[in-house]
Structure 1
Amino acid sequence: MSPSSLSSAAARTADTPGQPNSISRARVLWLSCLAHALHDGYTDMIYALLPVWQADFGLGYGALAVLRGLYAGAMATLQLPAGRLADKFGTRATLAFGTLVAAAGYAFAGMTGTLVGLCVALVVSGGGSSTQHPLASGAVSRAYGSQARGPLSVYNFSGDLGKSVLPAAISLLITIMPWRHALWAVSIVGVLVAAVIALFLPSVPRDASFIDEPSSAKRNGSHSGFSLLFTIGVLDTAVRMGLLTFLPFLLTAKGISRPMMGTALALVFIGGAAGKFACGWLGARMGVIGTVLATEGGTAALIFATIFLPLTPTLILLPLLGVMLNGTSSILYGTVPELTPVERTERAFALFYTGVIASGALAPIAYGFLGDRIGAPGATAATAITALAIFPLAIALRSRLRGA
């Protein structure tokens, strides 16, 4: 059968309950990954633009932080409403519309000549991006059913690709054209991705009949289990963001050169991307709780190592530290569906992502104030202690999971 015939067959069966097939599942996964890469790239693209906006609008560091917060805040607070929109209009339409809105926000940012207009544009774009995490991850979860843990780790990894590509692309574009024109260029990419999602994302039924798992394993959900998982996710994110806040200061104290600092951080991020990709699959094979305990225990041990070891061995350990720091997230995201009824998958992901995004925004502030009191090494040690605090929560979660 030719590729075109396969695509036609997939299109005919993609929306048929009870008839999942590998082609429509793959389309759900890869289009969800495309959406994740774009929206995460849009989110982190702001970091590359902050110096430009500082020069153009005469902003201080506090005002620049507010600009970043407007986007992140809109994205975090609108995830639950995005799930409700998907209940009414469907995942495909809502995700495509959200992607279009995110692109339109950046297009408007390129057209406005005022700081107020830029703030409004960032809120609009962040609101559009609020649709991506709950809807795309929910679609992957429902398409793959009991086999979703591995695909969700691939989906999680794709966000890191977007964070690498789009900020680099906008940094290059603003060297060859005005930043407003550069934003129009990346907004066109978002419009194209929205069109691809609207045209080609299969519609995954919301009832449990689509999911190929034994009736005895149908997901009924566990409120207490989800609460534990949510708390673990919040603490895990706090550890990661807190450590990344202080890591440059620790390395500086060890005598690292300025050019080498970028390389050191890149080692952490490369390890983090690898951890997201690998640990979801590892959790499916070795058990969720055992893998979480291993990654959090490894995170704590490696954080203490970065505090006390000299520079050279610290640099050697940074990729492994990245694996441990980010690996837990894939395990946690892959566990959300196990603790959630099938028809509430998007809402569960929306709640979970709202919590971890809020933690990512607030944790550096909390650890920062702690660092002002006890110094960077002490505050960094506090992040390791936070990682160890996950142990009893993970053990309590074991009884709520099948085969954990």
Structure 2
Amino acid sequence: MENNKRSNVRWIVAGLMWAAIAINYIDRTVLSASATQITKQYGLTSAQMGILMSGFFWSYALLQIPAGWFADKFGQKKTLGFAVGWWSVMTAATGLGVGFKSLLGLRVGLGVGEAGAYPSNAGITAKWFPKKERATVSGLFDSGSKFGGAVAMPLITWLIVSYGWKMTFAIIGSLGIVWTVIWLLYFKETPKEHKGVNEVELNYIYEGMDKEEEGKKELPMKWYELLKYKNIWAMCIGFFMINYNSYFFITWLPTYLVKERGMNLMQMGFAASLPLICAMIAEVAAGWASDKVYSKGMLSLTATRKLFLIIGLLMASFIGVAAFTHSAALAVALLCIAKSGNTIAASQVWALPGDVAPKNMTSIVAGMQNTVSNMGGVVGPIITGFIVTATGSFVPALLFSAGLIVLGIINYVFLLGKVERIEPKDQAYTVA
């Protein structure tokens, strides 16, 4: 009877994917936490520190598509293992920086490695999980970013106080190096290759899905040919709107809580972490719930993805409602709803590449939508800053963000078509 019991190796893999994203976000945060000490030690200006903080995004955003191509061509095991190992070494080495130029080079290097994380995870999800579990897994691994963001600041601050900022970079960097060793020893490119996956689990994984062509890495089309399909455009445009909204919570939220809501630093620190904690729980729950809806046949895959995207974005629009409340506590509660809505949508966003990508191109599709989404992350804080400077208030900035969310809803309702795998022979949608 033992053979009838399904092994659960895929969930150990999902746990490792989650840990990679959590480490990813913890590593991003060390510079922000130690900015005061670094600025003082090397006599940096605020402008130089701003460049250091943005340097990560230069390489991160530009390399999403190449990282996805590499993952699909040479395998997610090598790509994610190299990515985490590389960015962990860059993190650990940051403590050896001796000034602005060397620190900037290390931050750009960090982005080079971190570019491989999300595209690789999307590709692993398509290979290791059946369609009825993909939103759960996508929500799970993406929730690592909220965990990393929520715990990073207190953890890193404690390490800096206890051991100094240079040693803190080394300690945090070592986490990813340990992860890399475990990953390379444990993970296999496909479930079929893993000795721990029994026949029952293997059949379950492949049930209702097309196997990726075993041993074949040929890509059915060039990456830019994907731009002929309207679903790719819908995924990129929608994720841009979501990320524009999301980056408010990790850039301007502390300033908003202090200046607009009159909080002191201790109050702000607690209040700023609440949306991330709520969002982490909401994302995993939404991924699980959407998979239940689809697997029980209550809705088609297309209807399930669109339903949860729309529910999430309707909640995300509460950021505009928060602008009008006079109560700081109510404003934080509304922002918790808004951030949770972002992540409910994100649980579907990260499942979509596995649903629509041509064979062997899941990581490339994930890289494409993440490239565009990070443009939202780059311009969002800048536009918010200009609006606040021009008006002296966060209200117009929050309303603008809510307006983009409404456009995101329209995009997913009307531009996103049937959620199904793109086949090269399909009639393409020409955007012209």
- Fold match (TM-score > 0.5): yes
The structure richer in helix per residue is: 1
**What letter corresponds to residue 141 of structure 1 in structure 2?**
A
Q: Which moved more, 1:330-339 or 1:275-284?
A: 275-284
Task: Answer yes or no: is the 8 Å Cα contact 1:246–1:380 preserved in 2.
Answer: no
Residues 266-315 of structure 1: CA distance to partner in whole angstroms, max 9, x if unpaired?
22222222222222233332722222222222222452244234334334
Question: Whole-Å Cα distance in 1 between the matches of residues 40 and 380 of structure 2?
Answer: 28
Q: 1:382 to 1:98 in 2, by over 3 A?
A: same
Q: Which of these residues, 305, 308, 314, is aligned with residue 291 of structure 1?
A: 308
The 3 A distance-change label for structure 1 pair 306 and 90 is same
Q: Distance in 1 between matches of 2:264 and 2:99?
A: 38
| Conservation of the 8 A alpha-carbon contact between 1:267 and 1:322 | no
Structure 2 match to 1:183:
169
Equivalence for 1:172: 158
Cα distance in 1 for partners of 2:114, 2:333 equals 36
CA-atom RMSD, angstroms?
3.0
Query: In the alignment, residue 294 of structure 1 is paired with which amino acid?
Result: I
Contact 1:137 1:155 in 2 (8 A): no
Aligned to 1:278: 285
State the alpha-carbon separation in 2 of the partners of residues 214 and 177 from structure 1: 50
Per-residue deviation, residues 213-250 of structure 1 (Å, max 9, x unmatched): 2569x9x9982112101100001111222466555565
1:122-181 alpha-carbon deviations (Å, 9 max, x no partner): 222221111111112311232113121111111111222223344433322221223222
Alignment of 1:185-334 (within 5 A): 185-204=171-190, 211-213=206-208, 223-242=229-248, 247-248=253-254, 251=257, 252-284=259-291, 285=293, 287-334=304-351
Q: Report sequence identity in percent.
A: 18
1:322-361 correspondence runs (5 A):
322-361=339-378
Is the Cα contact below 8 Å between 2:56 and 2:110 reproduced in 1?
yes
Deviation at 1:68, TM superposition (A): 1.3
Structure 2 residue 380 is the aligned partner of structure 1 residue 363: yes
Is the 2:150–2:277 contact (alpha carbons within 8 Å) kept by the matching residues of 1? no
Are 1:270 and 1:322, in contact at CA under 8 Å, matched by a contact in 2?
Answer: no
Match of residue 411 from structure 2:
393
Alpha carbons of structure 1 residues 104 and 256: separation in structure 2 relative to 1, 3 Å: closer
Residue 70 of structure 2 corresponds to residue 52 of structure 1 = no
2:67 is the alignment partner of 1:82? yes
**Partner letter of residue 75 of structure 2?**
G
Aligned equivalents of 2:322, 2:150: Cα separation in 1: 27
Q: What does 1:366-381 align with in structure 2 at a 5 Å threshold?
A: 366-374=383-391, 375-381=393-399
Structure 2: 5+ residue runs without aligned partners? 193-202, 214-219, 221-225, 294-298, 421-432
2:19 to 34, 38, 42: 34
The answer for the alignment partner of 1:383 in structure 2 is: 401
What is the CA distance between 1:111 and its match in structure 2?
Answer: 2.2
CA distance in 2, matches of 1:171, 1:355: 32
TM-score, length-scaled by structure 2: 0.80
CA contact (8 A) 1:238 1:359 kept: yes
**Deviating more after overlay: 196-205 vs 148-157:** 196-205
Q: Using structure 1 for the length normalisation, give the TM-score.
A: 0.85
More displaced 10-residue stretch of structure 1: 168-177 or 376-385 = 168-177
Distance 1:243 1:95, change over 3 A: closer
Alpha carbons 1:241, 1:364 under 8 Å: kept: yes
- Which shifted more, 280-289 or 150-159? 280-289
1:306-348 deviations in Å (ceiling 9; x for gaps): 4234334334434323312332112211222212123100101
Matched to 1:300, the amino acid is S
Q: Secondary structure at the match of 1:192?
A: helix
Compare 276-285 and 382-391 and name the one that shifted more: 276-285
1:202 match: secondary structure: coil
